[in-house]
Chains A and B, each alone.
Chain A
Amino acid sequence: MSLLNVENLGVRIGHVAPVDGVSFAIEAGETFALLGESGSGKSMTALAIMRLLPPGGRIVAGAVSFDGKALGELPESQMRGLRGRGIAMIFQEPQTSLNPVMSIGEQIAEALPPGMPRDEQARAVRGLLEEVGIPEPAARMHSYPFELSGGQKQRVMIAQALAGQPRLLIADEPTTALDVTLQAQILQLIKRLARERGMGLLLITHDLGVARHMADRVGIMYAGQLVESLPAGRTGGLEQAFHPYTRKLMQAVPSLQRAGERLAAIPGRVPALDQAFAGCRFTERCPHAFAPCAGTAPEWTRLGEGHAVRCHLAAHPEIVRAGEAAQALRMAGAGSETVLAVRDLRVSFTQRTGQLFGKRRIHAVDGISFELNRGETLALVGESGCGKTTAAKAILGLTPASGGEVELDGKIVTGLSERRFKPYRRLAQIVFQDPYSSLNPRMRVGDILQEGMAALGVGGEAGRGQTIAALLEKVGLAPDALNRYPHEFSGGQRQLIAIARALAVRPKLLICDEPTSALDVSVQAQILNLLADLQREEGLALLFITHNLAAVGYLAQRVAVMKAGRIVETGAVHDILARPQHPYTQSLLASVL
């Protein structure tokens, strides 16, 4: 008998069915990963298991049994006892999941079994903190969350989850909010703990690398359904994947091995879940769809040991694997004309300290220098808080530099007044990370695209309409987008609009600040491909800011690794990825999954 058994689970929230007919089982000591893009229903599945669905949500079909007990029939009082003790959960955001006004020791003690004497409680908390790798647990248990780093907070949350001695741990995107180097450590910790305690682990993730690295078995979710279930592990389990969606997903992830190949993008978007489906849910986006796909829903087909797939083509692997040969990515040749030169750039902020009139200087960017030529891509790599975004803003004159020079197209622009900077504004533009906050929700897309041209006086009134139409076509949006508002578009489409907005003034330098880290894998591929194409066609110089080394290998010619405001290593991309010199670069590379 399995530890957790989910049979044909169905969840409805209003008219939407975010989970529909999902079945899987987890054995004690086994790690099962639910892999899927946002909106595929993986988090809802976890919440349904815990019976913690959001208001209006209810389980309409199927059964969940844990340790032989049917969870659907338990009264709420017993279910409460099971949460934390039987099944524990780790959430994505350590910042908001810990109570800021309680010490971490108190918060962990809360999750311990009730009725424990005080000194025993303290000992248990110390033991847990030690187990999750917090140094000096005896002193640390009196700390408050704000005194801990993001990684330590995540460790505290894991300790909290372990306090009830659960037999099943549900981890919902446990490392998505963390830096790459931390991600590897935390994942390792979770895996070690699960193995040592013989816990079942349900891992929910959108990251193929995480699933591959962690799971014994992987279930791939698409539009509320499991479409494929297969053993993973280091022995190349995922490479056996059959479903066209899974295969596309794997080809969409940029990786060090596949530098120089075009990424596979999945056209279209996930269908709305408030409708009844007759056939396979992936039909519209599937390159191999044929007659039965639209009409009848495919049944599970067993392909091998623990490997099953929902696809009509299950008997014809040769069809699915045809046409997968990678297209080579034609990169632009770097020109000799220098577009951007940064010399010893420094940005510092004044921060008030606790004392009256007490002030302190924070050096966010501490003397960085680099050059960027026409048609070239420089990747600026580093963890959050290392000053990469501040550097970008200083280059654009949005944050005053406190020292050094920025030379745009041969003209030193640091220290210019807003008015005198204006003629150089069109030379450099920026694309931001979050497509939801980068477009004004109250403006039509047409107005958003025109704003820069109008402000900088690029092109005449008449010419602007044509320019915008051409831009929309270039980034692959329909012309009717002009009259619509940003909320009518998906995240990926918004990012396309943001790119079009930046390109509207025909800049020579485009700064991309983590342009894909808020997007799903398949959309990320589309954006990265587009950037590569644009660069080749327009001869753009790209400053590509990222924490993802895999994407660096795909897009960049040169890399600069940044740490604490300084560039610690710089060089050609293949040199750095193959032979990193600086220990920090080595640790970054080691944590790529």
Chain B
Amino acid sequence: MSLQPVMLWTDALVWLLVLATAGFAWYIARTPVLRESWHNVLARPMGMSSAAVLGVFILVGLADSLHYRERLDNGQFGVEVKSALDAALSPLAARSERTYSAPLATHSQSKENLEQAGGGTVRAAPRLQFGGAHLQDPQRDWRGDVIARAAAGAALGLAVCILFTALLALALARFWRCGFFASLRRLRQPQEKDLAWRSLLVTAFLFLLMAGAMAGLASGYHVLGTDKVGQDVLYQSLKSVRTGLVIGTLTTLVTLPVAIGLGLLAGYFRGWVDDVIQYLYTTLNSIPWVLLVAAAVLIVQVFIEQNERSFSSVAERADARLLALCVIIGLTGWTGLARLLRAETLKLRELDYVTAARAFGVGGPRILLRHILPNVQHLILITVVMDFSGLVLAEAILSYVGVGVDPVMNSWGNMINAARLELAREPVVWWPLLAAFGFMFALVLAANLFADVVQDAFDPRSGVKHPADPRASSQGGKA
């Protein structure tokens, strides 16, 4: 079966971002000051743990960004666009039920009229097609089977964890130039200046144990239940990871050039440039944000519907809308960072090193690039990391209002939107909401904790000081 790779617009941008991040990492490795700051981030247990959790989310998102079409039996490529994640989760995706079923259930949530073997009908909840279908007598076998599968999965997770520890120790043994066992010992009792490897291992242990147990259960059940049309909720939640990440990162990609450009220009040139930019962002800020986004999304939606033909598949159309949403949120959300950068630039432009550069006849653009931009980069970084979680949440809000991503696209906002009506059902259907909430919470919490640590490491005012500058605090001299 041959494959045809498909590059969606957001895929291209996501992989571009990966390349840019790799480039940035290379630059960090070469710049001692930055390297030390990042070292401080990863030396903190909280920083390492949250980075590890974020890393897992990012891996899922990246796997979901490798799209392809399959060649069908008739020799043509199918219309359906799948991703590497779909391939990995294909059992989950394929095993759909008819409608709602609770997590780990063996019977459907709703009762139906069932024909009995001996004729006549009875109203009861039918057995699920896949969930627990292997059980002879669910009442008797269910508990033991669930425990056995969870335990087997967890054991597998543990094995993977041990393998991971061994590989890490092996890699670090090379780096530290010591033996394998010495390296293991050092992982347990870290020396000064080591990264927080122990936190990484603890996080990996907990995660692998949980993931293993879930995978074990998923082989015979719907771990997080199924939704209205019988689709596995776990699968949906995992597919939503990419949507959240794309919104969180690509939006920033749109925001940054606008915010940096306008903020620096306003702060450096002042005068009428500053006035114009200030009017622009105060105006933009005074329009209700949701209204502005809703209006823009509706315009884009109409545009997409009118040009239906230029999209060869549903996935492409949904992707175009996702990208449009990123651009819209980005173009309406740059004001905060721009304002921050303007204020900082106003301060920096009066510093003596900028005056010295002007005394050398260095031009405005060059001063901005060499003297101002490098000195606000910590602000940019902190804002980007802090905004990320806000953007993930914003997607949920917008989808809930109905102006978010395309309804066919998996996203936590869409899941919540679909589930809210079912909260009134009896018995209540709580699992899609809880699943979306749980995943979103994990991602946002990890991002927020990471942002905190990054801020501590990069913000010069947060107390972590460079070793030099002994007098800066003690005696400023005569101002």
Question: CB within 8 Å of B: which residues of A?
Answer: 38-39, 43, 92-93, 173, 176-177, 206, 384, 393, 396, 398, 418, 421-422, 425, 428-430, 432-434, 436-443, 451-452, 455-456, 485, 487-491, 498, 501-502, 505, 514, 517-519, 547
Q: Pick the contact of B469: A436, A514, A517, A518 (CB < 8 A).
A: A436
Q: Determine whether the beta carbon of A173 is less than 8 Å from that of B360.
A: no
Shortest B31–chain A CB gap in Å is: 9
- B468: which A residues are within 8 A, CB to CB? 487-490
Given contacts A177-B478, A437-B351, A438-B351, 15 further A-B contacts (CB under 8 A): A38-B470, A176-B475, A177-B479, A384-B478, A396-B359, A425-B359, A430-B359, A433-B352, A436-B469, A436-B472, A455-B361, A456-B360, A487-B468, A514-B478, A518-B477
A-B contact pairs, 28 of them (CB 8 A): A38-B474, A38-B475, A39-B470, A43-B474, A173-B475, A176-B478, A177-B478, A384-B479, A425-B359, A428-B359, A429-B359, A433-B352, A436-B469, A437-B351, A437-B352, A438-B351, A438-B352, A440-B375, A442-B374, A443-B374, A451-B362, A455-B357, A455-B360, A455-B362, A488-B468, A490-B470, A505-B360, A517-B477
- A422: which B residues are within 8 A, CB to CB? 361
Shortest A566–chain B CB gap in Å is: 22
- B357: which A residues are within 8 A, CB to CB? 451, 455
Q: Give bound CA distance, A442 to B370, whole Å.
A: 9
Shortest B30–chain A CB gap in Å is: 12
Q: Determine whether the beta carbon of A438 is less than 8 Å from that of B361.
A: no
Q: Determine whether the beta carbon of B356 is less than 8 Å from that of A430.
A: yes
- A432: which B residues are within 8 A, CB to CB? 352, 355-356
Q: Does B353 contact A (CB under 8 A)?
A: yes
- A517: which B residues are within 8 A, CB to CB? 477-478
With A177-B479, A487-B466, A518-B478 known as contacts, the answer to whether A452 contacts B352 (CB < 8 A) is no
* B467, closest chain A residue (CB): A487
Shortest B347–chain A CB gap in Å is: 10
Q: Does B461 contact A (CB under 8 A)?
A: no
Q: Give bound CA distance, A443 to B371, whole Å.
A: 8
Q: Does B358 contact A (CB under 8 A)?
A: yes
* A432, closest chain B residue (CB): B352
Q: Give bound CA distance, A502 to B356, whole Å.
A: 8
Q: Determine whether the beta carbon of A440 is less than 8 Å from that of B476.
A: no
Q: Pick the contact of B375: A425, A430, A442 (CB < 8 A).
A: A442
Shortest A300–chain B CB gap in Å is: 27
Q: Give bound CA distance, A437 to B476, whole Å.
A: 11
- A452: which B residues are within 8 A, CB to CB? 360
- B470: which A residues are within 8 A, CB to CB? 38-39, 490
Q: Does B162 contact A (CB under 8 A)?
A: no
Q: Give bound CA distance, A38 to B477, whole Å.
A: 10
Shortest B159–chain A CB gap in Å is: 43
Q: Determine whether the beta carbon of A437 is less than 8 Å from that of B353.
A: yes
* B471, closest chain A residue (CB): A38
- A425: which B residues are within 8 A, CB to CB? 359-361
Question: CB within 8 Å of A: which residues of B?
Answer: 32-33, 351-353, 355-363, 366, 370-371, 374-375, 466, 468-472, 474-479
With A432-B356, A439-B353, A518-B477 known as contacts, the answer to whether A491 contacts B471 (CB < 8 A) is yes
* B356, closest chain A residue (CB): A438
Shortest B275–chain A CB gap in Å is: 14
Q: Pick the contact of B370: A396, A429, A430, A443 (CB < 8 A).
A: A443
* A452, closest chain B residue (CB): B360
* B465, closest chain A residue (CB): A487
Shortest A529–chain B CB gap in Å is: 20
Q: Determine whether the beta carbon of A398 is less than 8 Å from that of B355.
A: yes
Shortest A357–chain B CB gap in Å is: 15
Shortest B117–chain A CB gap in Å is: 78
Q: Determine whether the beta carbon of B375 is less than 8 Å from that of A418.
A: no
Q: Determine whether the beta carbon of B476 is less than 8 Å from that of A518.
A: yes
- A206: which B residues are within 8 A, CB to CB? 475
**A43, A434, A547: residue with the most chain B Cβ atoms closer than 10 Å:** A434
Q: Determine whether the beta carbon of A487 is less than 8 Å from that of B469.
A: yes
Q: Give bound CA distance, A440 to B349, whole Å.
A: 11
Q: Determine whether the beta carbon of A430 is less than 8 Å from that of B475.
A: no
- B370: which A residues are within 8 A, CB to CB? 440, 443, 451
With A398-B358, A422-B361, A452-B360 known as contacts, the answer to whether A92 contacts B475 (CB < 8 A) is yes
* B358, closest chain A residue (CB): A398
Q: Determine whether the beta carbon of B359 is less than 8 Å from that of A398.
A: yes
Q: Give bound CA distance, A251 to B305, whole Å.
A: 85
Shortest A424–chain B CB gap in Å is: 9
- B33: which A residues are within 8 A, CB to CB? 442, 485, 487
Q: Give bound CA distance, A177 to B469, whole Å.
A: 20
Q: Determine whether the beta carbon of A440 is less than 8 Å from that of B371.
A: yes
- A505: which B residues are within 8 A, CB to CB? 360
